[in-house]
Amino acid sequence: MEVKINSVHFNADQKLVEFVNKKVNKLDTFFDGILKAEVILKVAKPEAANNKVSELKISIPSKENLFAKKQADTFEEATDLAIDAIKKQLVKYKEKLKSK
């Protein structure tokens, strides 16, 4: 799976990039057909708490993209929340495929 990470208005350090890659690549265990993933990391309001936003877009065959956007105190936490939301969507999509 191709993983693309964009950080808006800041440079993501190597540790954050590796964390996001590792988490996103684990989604393969829930659904084999993931073509690519795009992660956008940005700071919503620099002066406020709980201002780190992680947007996750997953491309799968025969369906439009799955999308999750979560906000938290850290990029890691926001990414975890977005991954959890995508997992639920993948499980639901997989069940829909089985019922056809």
Residue 13 pLDDT level (bands cut at 50, 70, 90): very high
Amino acid residing at 23: K
Q: So where are the chain's domains?
A: 2-99
State percent of the chain over pLDDT 70. 98
Q: What CATH architecture does domain 2-99 belong to?
A: 2-Layer Sandwich (3.30)
Gap between the Cα atoms of 64 and 78, Å rounded: 23
Sheet with 36-43, edge to edge strand ranges: 2-8, 36-43, 52-59, 66-72
Gap between the Cα atoms of 28 and 40, Å rounded: 19
Across 66-93, average pLDDT: 95
**Residues paired with 70 in a beta bridge:** 54
